[in-house]
A and B are shown apart, each in its own frame.
Chain A
Amino acid sequence: MTDDILDVAREQVLERGVGLSQEQLLAVLRLPDEGVPDALELAHQVRMRWCGPEVEVEGIVSVKTGGCPEDCHFCSQSGRFDTPVRAARLDIPSLVQAARETAATGATEFCLVAAVRGPDPRLMAQVREGVAAIKEAVEINVACSLGILTRDQAEELRDLGVHRYNHNLETARSHFPAVVTTHTWEERFETLELVREMGMEVCCGGIIGMGESLEQRAEFAAQLADLEPDEVPLNFLDPRPGTPFGELESPSAMDALRAIAAFRLALPRTVLRFAGGRELALGDLGTRQGVLGGINALIVGNYLTTLGRSPEEDLDLLTELKMPVKELSNTL
């Protein structure tokens, strides 16, 4: 079975650039441990063939932390759960400094993230001022992740020069009600369609290890492929104390690596980004295996409420692997 699906993928994905189907992805996700190195090797070849050797580097920052009205079961920023996260807002000078420090690492993307259902007038004003201040001071692409958008808000973000908009579908459509009850997968999908309509790049990913079955993991990869996002951030569950998923186990390194290979074989041309939870699920060795197994983008440094590896560790890894960091002019 191992040889079958990888042989199929070699011809279909590597040679022709056609992503695997949901059924084929399930076969990848069911590979035995001894099949994972070959899957990663193939995923790496697919990445090199269809994306090239460059790695896109991004920093993210929370401009509005905590107090979210939604009930995403993985999230410590929900105001509905008893977590240690307190509400905070980031001032504009600190935001610009964060963008400056991110650019200094060589990153070409900087994403402003807010813990909201969608932006209210106060948050839009903060983002309006923040994006303008960053663009005035720092050479970096600005992305946003602000929840569900109205048409007017999407239009304004585009007119502000927001390069890419993130809104994760988080998981398979069939599993979504077990993860979030305060809004629907369809509402998220509508925002993604708006983003595309407005001409911003679409960034959409999710979290592996939220109790979904392998069938649902394959379903999710196939649904993302149908969306044709410009970027897919892949997170691995970090069970946060006080959240409904706080007692789950984070995915094993092997499961995480199988997922990386599968998502690359589903999406041969996308920016596939290592996002949150990789330190816990994969550690240093697994990070290296992922970068050699289909990943071609990283969030460097810290996340929204938790800490990550130092940028230097990741950049040293890329240097060692002779993978150049994508430069700003190449992102336009």
Chain B
Amino acid sequence: MEEGNHAACQARRRATDPPRFCTRCGRKLVVQVLPTSWRAHCVKCGPIG
């Protein structure tokens, strides 16, 4: 990761993006965004959130 303050990038992504990676195993999550919610699951670790 490059040096620098990434707080702004992370804040921006938190506002516009659901989780993308499983925090337990690092796999890409299967994410379904819906008009008023979202859901995500890891194929190994199960549902997220």
Contacts and interface: CB of A to CB of B under 8 A. Distances in A.
Interface of A: 59-62, 65, 84-88, 90, 94, 98, 101-102, 105, 238, 279-280, 300-307, 310-311
A221 to B, nearest CB: 26
Contacts of B36: 59, 98, 101-102, 105, 301-302, 310-311
A307 B32 contact: no
A60 B34 CA distance: 8
Contacts of A238: 16
A59 B34 CA distance: 9
Contact of B35 (A85, A280, A301, A306): A301
B28 A84 contact: yes
A90 B32 contact: yes
Interface of B: 12, 15-18, 20-21, 28-38
A88 B30 contact: yes
4 cross-chain pairs, A with B, having the tightest CB-CB distances, nearest first: A84-B20, A59-B35, A301-B35, A86-B28
The binding surface of chain A is classed by DSSP as loop
Nearest to A97: B34
A307 B34 contact: no
Contact of B31 (A61, A94, A305, A310): A305
Contact of B38 (A59, A60, A307): A307
25 contacts: A59-B35, A59-B36, A61-B33, A65-B33, A84-B20, A84-B29, A86-B31, A90-B32, A101-B35, A102-B36, A105-B36, A279-B15, A279-B16, A280-B16, A302-B33, A302-B35, A302-B36, A302-B38, A305-B31, A306-B16, A306-B17, A306-B33, A307-B15, A307-B17, A311-B36
Given A302-B38, A307-B38, A65 B32 contact: yes
A305 B35 contact: no
A85 B19 CA distance: 10
B16 A94 contact: no
Nearest to B34: A98
B13 to A, nearest CB: 9
Nearest to A308: B16
